[in-house]
Structure 1
Amino acid sequence: MMELQQFADTSALNNDFANRLVSILQQGIEQRGAAYLVVSGGKTPQALFNTLSQVDLAWDKVTVLLADDRWLDDNQQDSNERLVKATLLQHKAQAATFVSLYAQGASAFEGVAEILPRVSGLPQFDAVILGMGEDGHTASLFPCSAQISAGLALDAPAVLAVEPKTAPYQRMSLSLPRLLNSRHLFLHLVGSNKLAVLNKAMAEQDALAMPIRAFLHHPVAHVTVMYSEN
């Protein structure tokens, strides 16, 4: 099920979103002694990350990880880990624990054995923030990849290596069932072009063609779309 929350601009969106996330994380800390936040890379969440990084929270009880990352170490410009460390894990939030999706290895496929235990042993997430590409991919669940059926399988392992045909770099991605195992699911979108993609995704059911549909049309999961046009 999908719920669309529209905001006048990204400033209003980010302020509201940050407040929601802090409330969710605080609740996790109060009820379970820890909270788990999954974020996505790219340009869209950077202002949100900057806002969150300065919020008063028991960040030492928060674990942060990415929904996916390129198979690059964090000194590479295109690394999502690099972005998260430079924007979110700063100021007050630098006390949070970060779980990397990268390990030394020739390929992401070789790295799965090391990354899988890091993620599969984590409890239910408190919040997952997804992004969405123009092709309807989310995390690194690309419709063009040979691994898409495996990533969307209900019995998929927590993480899988992906090699998209229409984007650079091998990837490490959380799978559909691991991402769905969260108390709150968000889809963060900015721009009228992304709203058009969302509408296309909602109009049909084929998740292999647009993997974001596996979340939006899930019979149980509730996805809150946080959207502003600009």
Structure 2
Amino acid sequence: MSEWRQFHSRAELDAALAAQLAAELRADLRAHPRSSIAVSGGSTPRNMFGALAAAELDWERVAITLVDERWVDPDDPDSNEALVRGCLLQARAAAADFVGLKTPGADCDAAVADVAARLEHLSRPFTAVVLGMGGDGHTASWFPQAHDLGMLLDPANPARVAATDPVTAPHPRMTLTLAAVLDSRHIHLHITGAGKRQVLEAAVDRGYPVASVLAQTRTPLTIWWAPDD
């Protein structure tokens, strides 16, 4: 159920993915009073966010949230919220509603109910979910060594958000579950470089967490790839 879209450069990919997301949001807003989108952090989407922020659409009716978040303050350099505020909630997209996954409390596990309540106000299904992928085959904060990985990847899990310890990466995390990611009209997997392409192509055979998105047949998946510049 997946489609590959390949580009000669990251700039070409960023422009095309931003245009696709804008088109999906416009289509959703023609049919519904509001729409919502979940995006990932990291360095890969930074320039794509800038292109999307300039898109002409009714941003006042759009809510943006995160696929996952490190349990750090929103002004911390490791914060995905800081990235989204600095790169996506700019230009025209500054009018969008942002729903973060970090609460003021120090305990990530204790905050799950509060974060879940925030997400209940979003229109569902998501118009789109934009995922990235790490070199270990994780996506969202579904890390291979996480003790609760089975729960996170259970498509029948009624929970839409969960706290998790990645074990192999810094910071506790708050993450959407697979069930929440699949509750979307479109899933876009945004990766660059030959190394990550090799990881992705081996993901199903090796049982990497990202394989849960590749193998599902519920939600259309598009893989966006370009070589590293």
Q: Same fold (TM over 0.5)?
A: yes
Tell me by how many angstroms 1:34 deviates.
1.4
RMSD: 1.2
1:220 equivalent in structure 2? 218
Give the Cα separation in 2 of the matches to 1:89 and 1:228.
25
1:175-214 pair list within 5 angstroms: 175-202=177-204, 204=205, 206=207, 210-214=208-212
Give the Cα separation in 2 of the matches to 1:139 and 1:220.
18
Distance 1:68 1:55, change over 3 A: same
Runs of 4+ in 1 over 2 A off after TM superposition: 219-222
Is the 8 Å Cα contact of residues 184 and 219 (structure 2) preserved in structure 1? no
1:55 aligns with 2:55: yes
2:35 equivalent in structure 1? 35
Deviation string for 1:45-65 (max 9, x for gaps)? 000001111121111111000
Give the Cα separation in 2 of the matches to 1:93 and 1:36.
13
Is the 8 Å Cα contact of residues 205 and 217 (structure 1) preserved in structure 2? no
Deviation string for 1:189-225 (max 9, x for gaps)? 01111101111114x173xxx1110110113332100
Give the Cα separation in 1 of the matches to 2:31 and 2:217.
27
Is the 8 Å Cα contact of residues 70 and 170 (structure 1) preserved in structure 2? yes
Give the Cα separation in 2 of the matches to 1:121 and 1:219.
27
Give the Cα separation in 1 of the matches to 2:155 and 2:217.
13
TM-score normalised according to structure 2 size:
0.95
Give the Cα separation in 2 of the matches to 1:130 and 1:185.
7
User: For 2:176, which of 174, 177, 181 is the aligned residue?
Assistant: 174
SS of 2:36's partner is strand
Tell me by how many angstroms 1:120 deviates.
3.8
Give the Cα separation in 2 of the matches to 1:183 and 1:132.
20
Give the Cα separation in 2 of the matches to 1:219 and 1:227.
21
Segment drifting more, 220-229 vs 171-180 = 220-229
Q: What residue identity is the alignment partner of 1:2?
A: S
Point out where structure 2 has 5 or more consecutive residues left out of the alignment.
Answer: none
Is the 8 Å Cα contact of residues 163 and 171 (structure 1) preserved in structure 2? yes
Tell me by how many angstroms 1:121 deviates.
4.6
SS of 1:101's partner is coil
* Paired-residue identity, %: 38
Tell me by how many angstroms 1:14 deviates.
1.2
SS of 1:160's partner is strand
TM-score normalised according to structure 1 size:
0.95
Point out where structure 1 has 5 or more consecutive residues left out of the alignment.
Answer: none
Q: How many residues align?
A: 226
Deviation string for 1:87-116 (max 9, x for gaps)? 000111000000110112122101111101
2:69 equivalent in structure 1? 69
1:1-230 pair list within 5 angstroms: 1-122=1-122, 123-156=124-157, 157-202=159-204, 204=205, 206=207, 210-230=208-228
Q: What residue identity is the alignment partner of 2:179?
A: P
Tell me by how many angstroms 1:12 deviates.
1.1
Give the Cα separation in 2 of the matches to 1:223 and 1:34.
22
Give the Cα separation in 1 of the matches to 2:220 and 2:185.
9
Tell me by how many angstroms 1:154 deviates.
2.3
Is the 8 Å Cα contact of residues 120 and 158 (structure 1) preserved in structure 2? no
Q: What residue identity is the alignment partner of 2:155?
A: L
